[in-house]
Amino acid sequence: MVEFKLKVDRSGKIYFPKTIREAGFSGDLRALPNWRAMAIYPPNAKSEDIIKSLRVIIQDLEHRMKVEESHALGGDEREG
């Protein structure tokens, strides 16, 4: 999964790279923030589809966490 670096400008606007905009993230969007993360989705997205997408992201983050832990313990980061 590709991770994008986003920046907030001085006026509080976030720039989305062209790749993300072309994937349908442009115009009106909805955001559901938590204290440490945020889900951003089109207004017509079904809750079921958002949840499925978030599960894929969570699986990727869990894999990254295992790789980071293995690396911290001196393991081979290709494991996992």
> In the Cβ-directed half-sphere of 39, how many Cα atoms lie within 13 Å?
16
* Rounded-to-integer distance, Cα 20 and Cα 27, Å: 12
Confidence tier at 79 by pLDDT (50, 70, 90): low
When pLDDT is averaged across residues 21-48 and rounded to a whole number, the result is: 93
* Rounded-to-integer distance, Cα 37 and Cα 21, Å: 20
Domain boundaries, the chain: 1-43, 46-80
Instruction: Specify the pLDDT at position 78.
Output: 55
* Rounded-to-integer distance, Cα 49 and Cα 55, Å: 10
Full-model pTM: 0.77
Instruction: Specify the pLDDT at position 17.
Output: 92
Q: Is the pLDDT of residue 63 over 60?
A: yes
Q: What tens digit of pLDDT does each residue of 68-77 get?
A: 998 888 866 5
Two structure tokens written together for 52: 């499925």
